[in-house]
Amino acid sequence: MERRIQKAAVLGSGVMGAAIAAHLANAGIQTYLLDIVPHALTEQEEKKGLTLEHPAVRSRIAAESKARLLKTKPAPLYSKKNADLIIPGNLEDDVSRLKEVDWIVEAIVENLEIKQQLWKKIERFWTEGTIVSSNTSGVSINKMVEGRSEAFRRHFLGTHFFNPPRYMKLLELVPGNDTDENVIAFMKRFGERELGKGVVLAKDTPNFIANRIGTYGLLVTFEEMQNGGFGIEEVDVMTGTVIGRPKSATFRTLDMVGLDTFVHVAANVHKNVADEQEKAAFVVPELLHKMVEKGWLGDKTGQGFYQKK
Ligand code: NAD
């Protein structure tokens, strides 16, 4: 039987999860968007004795999720109507929905142990044939599914989208040691034809290809800014439009990515490479740690290098 992706589930509804769900909706795919954070009843709903399963509560939650997506800039959806293809939920109550889907893509926090725990849980609700993938920026694909069944590992790979997924053309596919050749070939075709991406195959090395280079570039720029006593906006201008790159070249990009995510991504290379010189190049600057501790995570908290208007 020819494989098709008609229904999908995205796990994690943060910066990337919500935007990946939007791009799948752009391709006409009905998508569950499931997070660990449970939705809460309003005071009124509680007074009425409603539960989270009540259709009125579900449609209020769906409307709120749609409104958030429609407010996101740059717009992740081709058309407002596509938002109706996204069904928000949570991983406790809605986990059995995973049995309905053709592809499960994970976009939760960049942490190996948390991702391993999630896949352990998901395998119990996984149906053979369903493709499973991680949007990790660089955590090991093989390590993430250690302990999972061989059948699960045959269907598992990295599908690394770039931010914002509607606009960034690159999709890195990262097969694990056991990923089925047919799954890789299918996802390559699907990524190119249905999602409009330029697909490259990457090896399962820390941060794969684009992020290994990109993270290094950002860290060097950061160091040079401090050495040269430049300002944030100056660097964004010098590394942006004046040399033909987008306005959001350096620090605006970091704000969009999320400083917490960037710290995890850079630390991943530092922790997992053997070469001492390369290790040293991926040390996270103290200032970034301090900003994360203060909750200055970028656009998602309203304050990063810039204050979000
Ligand atoms: P984020 O912090 O914006 O969102 C993470 C979401 O995951 C949150 O909504 C959180 O509630 C949820 N979550 C945490 N633990 C969970 C669990 N156990 N089960 C279900 N949901 C859980 O993070 P993000 O920026 O969207 O990054 C998600 C993934 O995508 C990471 O692996 C990251 O490296 C990768 N990525 C991020 C970017 C980027 O620019 N931010 C780009 C490419 C890839």
Instruction: HSE, CB side, 13 Å, CA atoms: give it for residue 263.
Output: 17
Give the model's pLDDT for residue 38: 79
CA nearest neighbour of 299 among 79, 25, 19: 19
From 154, 170, 201, the end of a domain falls on 201
Of residues 38 and 294, more confidence is placed in 294
* Separation in Å, CA 37 to CA 34, 226, 302: 9, 38, 20
pLDDT tens-digit readout, 266-288 = 999 999 999 999 999 999 999 99
Which of 99-108, 132-141, 174-183, 245-254 is the least confident region? 245-254
By residue range, what is the domain housing residue 158? 7-201
Give the model's pLDDT for residue 247: 74
* Residue to mutate, 109, 248, 256, ligand 1, most ligand atoms under 8 Å from C-beta: 109
185 and 263 in a single domain? The answer is no
Spacing, Cα 46 to ligand 1 middle (Å): 30
11 and 102 in a single domain? The answer is yes
Cis omega (within 30 of 0) on the bond before 164? yes
In one-letter notation, the amino acid at residue 44 is: Q
Give percent of the chain above pLDDT 70: 99
99 and 218 in a single domain? The answer is no
**Radius of gyration for the chain, computed over Cα atoms and rounded to the nearest angstrom:** 20
Contact between 220 and 191 under an 8 Å Cβ cutoff? The reply is no
Residue owning tokens 């596919």: 173
Of residues 146 and 73, more confidence is placed in 146
Q: Where are the alpha helices (DSSP H) in the chain?
A: 15-26, 43-47, 55-71, 112-123, 141-144, 150-154, 181-193, 210-228, 232-238, 251-257, 259-272, 276-281, 286-293
From 201, 227, 246, the end of a domain falls on 201
pLDDT tens-digit readout, 138-158 = 999 999 999 999 999 999 999
Contact between 91 and 119 under an 8 Å Cβ cutoff? The reply is no
The size of the chain, in residues, is 309
Ligand 1: residues whose CB is within 6 Å?
11-17, 35-37, 91, 107-110, 114, 118, 135-137, 161-163, 257-258, 261, 265, 300
State the Cα–Cα distance between residues 95 and 90, nearest whole angstrom. Answer: 7
155 and 18 in a single domain? The answer is yes
Spacing, Cα 298 to ligand 1 middle (Å): 14
Residue owning tokens 């890195």: 172
Residue owning tokens 């998901």: 122
- Domain membership flag for residue 306: no
State the Cα–Cα distance between residues 197 and 175, nearest whole angstrom. Answer: 17
Tell me: pLDDT of 128 over 90.
yes
Provide the domain count of the chain. Answer: 2
Tell me: pLDDT of 243 over 70.
yes
Ligand 1 atom index nearest CA of 115: 18
Q: What is the mean pLDDT of residues 72-97?
A: 94
Which own/partner pairs from 24-30 qualify as long-range (CB within 8 Å, at least 24 positions apart)? 24/85, 24/195, 25/77, 25/82, 25/83, 25/85, 25/86, 26/77, 26/78, 26/82, 26/166, 27/194, 27/195, 28/85, 29/5, 29/85, 29/194, 30/6, 30/85, 30/87
151 and 193 in a single domain? The answer is yes
91 and 190 in a single domain? The answer is yes
Give percent of the chain above pLDDT 90: 92
Ligand 1 atom index nearest CA of 300: 3
Ligand 1 atom index nearest CA of 110: 32
State the Cα–Cα distance between residues 285 and 292, nearest whole angstrom. Answer: 11
Contact between 54 and 43 under an 8 Å Cβ cutoff? The reply is no
Spacing, Cα 11 to ligand 1 middle (Å): 9
In one-letter notation, the amino acid at residue 144 is: M
Give the model's pLDDT for residue 29: 98
Q: What is the CATH number of the domain that holds 216?
A: 1.10.1040.10
In one-letter notation, the amino acid at residue 110 is: E
165 and 271 in a single domain? The answer is no
pLDDT tens-digit readout, 177-213 = 999 999 999 999 999 999 999 999 999 999 999 999 9
Tell me: pLDDT of 1 over 70.
no
From 158, 184, 201, the end of a domain falls on 201
174 exposed, middle or buried (CB, 10 Å; 0-12, 13-18, 19+)? buried
- Average pLDDT of the chain, as a whole number: 95
User: Atom 13, ligand 1: which residue's CA is nearest?
Assistant: 108
